[in-house]
Structures are given as structure tokens and as C-alpha cells.
Amino acid sequence: MRNLLLTLRYDGSRYHGWQVQKNAVSVQEVFQAALEKILGERPDVKGCSRTDSFVHALEFCVSFFTDREIPCGRLVDALNHFLPHDIAAVSCREVPADFHARYSCTGKEYVYVIWNCRTRDPFLRDRVLHYWYPMDLERLNRAAEYFSGAHDFTSFCAKDARRPGCMTRTVTKACWGREGDFVRFSVSADGFLYHMVRIMVGTMLWVAQGKLEPGDIPRILAARDRSAAGPTAPAQGLYLKRVFYKDVNRNE
């Protein structure tokens, strides 16, 4: 059996996240259908992340076992023949048998994209958050600095039906940047909680509006209470940018 690591990119506008849903179309469902047409089987596919409904991925990694001998390059080409226009296979390589797209992951980087302009751009619909109010990036970066390091992020996690576990995550990068009318928040960590990045962004937009001060972030973290933080930013601005693995080059 071969263990394959595939890298995908997708526009999540039409999908209810990665994971298969009972009553909604997911990226995993569409991907597995294309894979079945090529391999004649439906492998148990492991994704690097769940990703929320309507969230995008610049890099999304999946792994699965197969005994088919199709070369990696041909598999990528075949997938791109059967996948819809908003999902693309980028690369494929064989990895050790103990590799798992989710459990072997050592960290991820997300970027949240805002179109900070008075007028909306119809060509950016469903791909950015249109936010027309002034944004003081120096003030926002002072707030973002407080997220760096290891913290309990309970205040920045949406309540859901999943069993609670350790809520501590270690953030290695959290910063805002601007290119023209595009404003981006980039954040890297060893892992992320449910809606964590979107709540971080929504809370910092309250900082931008003066409803909170940058120095309020430590207090919100210490509260360990979702109601202490700001709103959840809309999904369409969020992108999974990079997935980190130790000793694995995804582009070979």
C-alpha cells in the first residue's frame, strides 16, 4: 500500500467546509467523488483541518492509502480533469506509512483578507470582508502582539458539540499588513480552535472601532469566556495559507 500526500487549493464559497456533511456539499465529498473515478475505489481520506463553511484554502493537505500504481503526476492531472473549477490538485508525493495529514501537522498559517475601501468590489464578492471604516494598523498590531505565545484561547473559541479538550495554543506569528486597499491579518500557531481566527479578527475590529483597547486582549484571554471577546468575523475573508510538517516536503 502507498501512502499519498496530496495538496489542494480551493475556493470555499460553495462548500460547507472540508468535512463530509449529511445535508450540505463539502470539499471532501467532491474530492472523494473525483478520486473514486480515477482509482475505482473510495479511500479513507484524512484532511489536515476541518475548515469552516465558506472558508478558502491556498494550501490544504490530505493523505490516504491506495494500492493503485498511478504515478503522482498523473494522479494530479487526472484529479484536475474531474474536479470542479473551484478545487484544484497542486502536488502529490508518497510519504511514510505513519504519516497522517492531520496528526503529523506541526502548525498552520491562516490569513484573513479585508477589502478596506469605501466602495465594494463585485469581483471580490465571497472572497474578502468588505470593511469600509478606517483601520489604524499600528493600533491593530499592538493588539495582535498579545496573542503571541502560549495561551488558553477559550475566549476565542465558539461553543459547539465537540468534546472539550486542551484549549491552549501557541501562536508564533500574529500581525496586520496593508497593500493598497487590501488589509491582511496573518496568524501562525501549532493549532487552532473552532472559529478561533475569526473571533480574533472580530475582536480586533472592535479595537479598530475604539470599542476595545489593545491592552484589553490579555484580560479577554484570562477570562476564558467566549462572551468576553468580540464578534465572529464572516467566513469569506479567511484562508488556510500554509500547513507545516516536520521532514516532509509537499512539493516534491
Three cell numbers written together for 7? 495538496
240 close to 112: Cβ distance less than 8 angstroms: no
Containing 217, the helix (H) or strand (E) segment is helix 217-223
Active-site annotation holds for 52:
yes
Instruction: Give me the catalytic one of 44, 52, 98, 216.
Output: 52
C-alpha 18/C-alpha 10 separation (Å) is 10
C-alpha 53/C-alpha 186 separation (Å) is 20
Angle, to 10 degrees, between the axis of helix 196-209 and the axis of helix 137-145? 130
Containing 72, the helix (H) or strand (E) segment is helix 72-82
C-alpha 61/C-alpha 230 separation (Å) is 31
157 close to 196: Cβ distance less than 8 angstroms: yes
Residues catalogued as catalytic: 52
